[in-house]
């Protein structure tokens, strides 16, 4: 039986943003700093919400949620939401 590959996760970990063992957003945080990447996440969430009716629909909403969750992760927010 051939090996089973896990399904691709185009929302949370798209292949095009992984360059080896690090994802692009992790390297961005190292290069530009956490605050810059937090701003990037908020702006990307805005972009995906803005265009969702005309382009990506639910896929874009899921991407916006991913960026908002990444913002929370980078903010070290330890609140129970």
Which tens digit of pLDDT belongs to each residue from 16-58?
555 577 889 999 999 999 999 999 999 999 999 999 999 889 9
- What's the pTM? 0.72
Query: Distance between CA 60 and CA 56 in Å, rounded?
Result: 5
Instruction: Read off the pLDDT band of 64 (50, 70, 90).
Output: very high
Query: Could you tell me the two tokens for 56?
Result: 């990506």
Cα first-last separation, the chain: 44
Backbone angles phi, psi at 10, to 5 degrees: -75, -15
């Amino acid at each position: 039986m051939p090996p089973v590959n896990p399904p691709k996760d185009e929302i949370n970990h798209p292949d095009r943003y992984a360059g080896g063992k690090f994802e692009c957003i992790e390297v961005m945080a190292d290069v530009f700093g956490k605050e810059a990447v937090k701003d990037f996440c908020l702006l990307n969430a805005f972009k995906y919400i803005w265009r969702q009716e005309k382009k990506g629909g639910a896929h874009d909403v899921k991407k916006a949620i991913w960026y908002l969750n990444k913002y929370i992760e980078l903010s070290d927010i330890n609140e129970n939401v």
